[in-house]
């Protein structure tokens, strides 16, 4: 579907030069851009199955050598796709501290109009990440904002809508949408010709609530998030006819049971705002993402002696999303998943990873770790708890590093298996 819009523009300007069948052909996509074919990704007409890496901290690194070292490690592990944040916003009150600590920042909020930083401590750092990714033959998924904490949606809300509103005004206030789109346009126009971009991601983990609660306009059935996804994906498509676009959602379903009532489970009843099946059918949503953290989501069911199986729940979650992707005829990515505890990781990840491969789902564990970073002598506080310690990249308990051989090998084996599927 995403070729259709471009075709219409071409038809309007050059209608007598082309016949409709050649316009619709996917061959108009520039070389090196990722495309979709049914439930699969393709690169230059060949299947593109992959293990990816999540690393939000790469653009926070201040040393180009450390950025390159991270990509070198990814490439050696068979990683083909990186997902990172295309946003790093600060409050004006944080500016002095940011300058002092060399914190990467792209937007400064001091009024209802944020100010762009496209200099060496700003977007030039993201430029370098994308340039270095290309050197190591890795493609990049770039997210435009975050549902959580600073520096995401709640800075837009704070500065534009002010106090006393609910989180979901982010998805409905026209002033906020215009401000978000001004940022999206900046990022998309900067990289829209680059084959290194795998896809644009509208928001990390959009929900009706954030740190602020949700309001009555964002409840099951209002479809506020679905409407927002449609509006924003159409907007991005008008800016960029060729790159893939995705939501960045966690994969919540909006399902009624046989008696027409909503499921009680938050992951299935639409309360978070997502409607995975509907979002995936939007014309300019090219593939879907979902996340998997049952240890956190079902902590009340997950205790010694309970029957709840984290492993089985994850397998079912993978199946349900693959089925939804098949119904829509679009690919899905298991875009984040994680378990606390090394034994938990090594015992459960293999079955999740195998099942994802069986169901043609691309895999992106949360989160990639690297050792031996050298900037600031290997110890560097970026912001909040995000820090390098003795050269190790930030660890929220979910990072995996090469020195954890058994764990590391789960993903390197999966990567080599998938790469053999990609030829
Ligand atoms: C940003 O700064 C404003 C004004 O100083 C303050 O009210 C707000 O809490 C800050 N927001 C965040 C997320 O830091
Ligand atoms: C933001 O506002 C503060 C106080 O009003 C001022 O000191 C600072 O220079 C401003 N920063 C920017 C980037 O406008
Ligand atoms: C449907 O869901 C409601 C509310 O959770 C529950 O009370 C009812 O038993 C369910 N019905 C069926 C057929 O599952
Ligand atoms: C575990 O499963 C069994 C059999 O289905 C059931 O009888 C039991 O109540 C369950 N225990 C818990 C703690 O859920
Ligand atoms: C492993 O998972 C179990 C079940 O969620 C949890 O109770 C335990 O704390 C985890 N281990 C570690 C080291 O986090
Ligand atoms: C791997 O390196 C990290 C960071 O330096 C360290 O904390 C951890 O103990 C190491 N793990 C193993 C298994 O050596």
pLDDT tens digit sequence for 270-301? 999 999 999 999 999 999 999 999 999 999 89
pLDDT at residue 21 tops 60? no
For ligand 2, the distance from its centroid to the CA atom of residue 41, given in whole angstroms, is: 46
Quick one: pLDDT at residue 16? 35
416 lines ligand 1 (CB under 6 A): no
pTM: 0.91
Closest-lying ligand 3 atom to the alpha carbon of residue 264? 5
Mean pLDDT across the stretch 258-276?
Answer: 89
299 lines ligand 3 (CB under 6 A): no
Quick one: pLDDT at residue 159? 97
For ligand 2, the distance from its centroid to the CA atom of residue 123, given in whole angstroms, is: 20
Mean pLDDT of the chain: 92
For a mutational test of ligand 6's pocket, the pick from 392, 398, 409, i.e. the residue with the most ligand atoms closer than 8 A to its C-beta, is 392
pLDDT for 310-332, tens place per residue? 999 999 999 999 999 999 999 99
Closest-lying ligand 3 atom to the alpha carbon of residue 258? 13
Which residues are the active-site residues?
205, 336
Residue nearest to atom 11 of ligand 5 (CA): 341
Residue nearest to atom 10 of ligand 5 (CA): 341
pLDDT at residue 7 tops 60? no
For a mutational test of ligand 2's pocket, the pick from 90, 94, 95, 122, i.e. the residue with the most ligand atoms closer than 8 A to its C-beta, is 95
Q: What is the 3-state secondary structure (H, E, C) of the chain?
A: CHHHHHHHHHHHHHCCCCCHHHHHCHHHCCCCCEEEECCEEEECCEECCCEEEECCCHHHCCCHHHHHHHHHHHHHCCCCEEEEECCCEEEHHHHHHHHHHCCCCCEEECCCCCEECCCCCCHHHHHHHHHHHHHCCCEEEEECCECCCCCCHHHHHHHHHCCCCCHHHHHCCHHHHHHHHHHHHHHHHHHCCCCCEEEEECCECCCCCCCCCCCCCCCCCCCHHHHHHHHHHHHHHHHCCCCEEECCCCCCCECECCCCCECCCCCCECCCCCCHHHHHCCCCCCCEEEEECHHHHCCCCCCCCCCCCHHHHHHHHHHHHHHHHHHHCCCEEEEEECCCCHHHHHHHHHHHHHHHHHCCCEECCCCECCCCCCHHHHCEEEECCEEEECCECCCCCCCECCCCHHHHHHHHHHHHHHHHHCC
pLDDT for 39-98, tens place per residue? 999 999 999 999 999 999 999 999 999 999 999 999 999 999 999 999 999 999 999 999
Residue nearest to atom 9 of ligand 3 (CA): 259
């Amino acid at each position: 579907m995403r070729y259709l819009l471009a075709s219409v523009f071409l038809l309007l300007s050059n209608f007598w030069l082309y016949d409709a069948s050649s316009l619709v052909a996917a061959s108009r996509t520039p070389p090196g851009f990722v495309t979709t074919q049914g439930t699969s990704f393709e690169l230059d007409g060949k299947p593109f199955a992959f293990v990816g890496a999540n690393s939000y901290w790469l653009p926070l690194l201040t040393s180009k050598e450390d950025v390159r070292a991270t990509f070198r490690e990814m490439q050696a592990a068979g990683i083909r796709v990186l997902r990172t944040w295309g946003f790093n916003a600060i409050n004006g009150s944080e500016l002095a501290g940011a300058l002092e600590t060399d914190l990467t920042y792209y937007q400064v909020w001091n009024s209802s109009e944020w100010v762009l930083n496209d200099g060496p401590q700003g977007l030039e750092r993201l430029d370098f990440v994308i340039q270095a990714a290309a050197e190591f033959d890795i493609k990049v998924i770039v997210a435009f904002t975050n549902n959580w904490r600073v520096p995401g949606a709640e800075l837009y809300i704070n500065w534009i809508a002010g106090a006393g509103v609910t989180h979901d005004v982010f998805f409905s206030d026209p002033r906020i949408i215009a401000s978000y789109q001004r940022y999206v346009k900046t990022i998309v126009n900067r990289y829209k010709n680059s084959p290194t971009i795998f896809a644009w991601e509208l928001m990390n983990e959009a929900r009706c609530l954030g740190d602020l609660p949700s309001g009555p306009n964002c409840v099951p059935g209002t479809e506020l998030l679905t409407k927002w996804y449609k509006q924003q994906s159409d907007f991005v498509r008008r800016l960029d006819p060729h790159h893939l676009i995705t939501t960045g959602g966690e994969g919540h379903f909006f399902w009624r049971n046989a008696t027409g009532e909503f499921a009680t489970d938050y992951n299935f009843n639409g309360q978070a705002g997502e409607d995975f099946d509907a979002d995936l059918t939007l014309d300019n949503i090219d593939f879907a993402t979902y996340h998997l953290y049952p240890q956190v989501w079902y902590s009340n069911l997950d205790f010694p002696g309970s029957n709840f199986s984290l492993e089985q729940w994850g397998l079912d979650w993978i199946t349900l999303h693959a089925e939804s992707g098949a119904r829509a005829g679009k690919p899905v990515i298991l875009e984040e998943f994680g378990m606390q505890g090394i034994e938990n990781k090594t015992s459960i990840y293999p079955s999740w990873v195998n099942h994802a491969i069986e169901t043609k789902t691309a895999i992106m564990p949360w989160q990639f770790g690297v050792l031996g970073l050298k900037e600031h002598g290997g110890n560097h506080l970026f912001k909040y708890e995000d820090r390098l310690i003795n050269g190790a990249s930030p660890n929220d308990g979910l990072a995996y590093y090469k020195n954890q051989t058994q764990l590391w090998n789960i993903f390197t084996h999966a990567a080599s298996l998938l790469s053999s599927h990609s030829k």
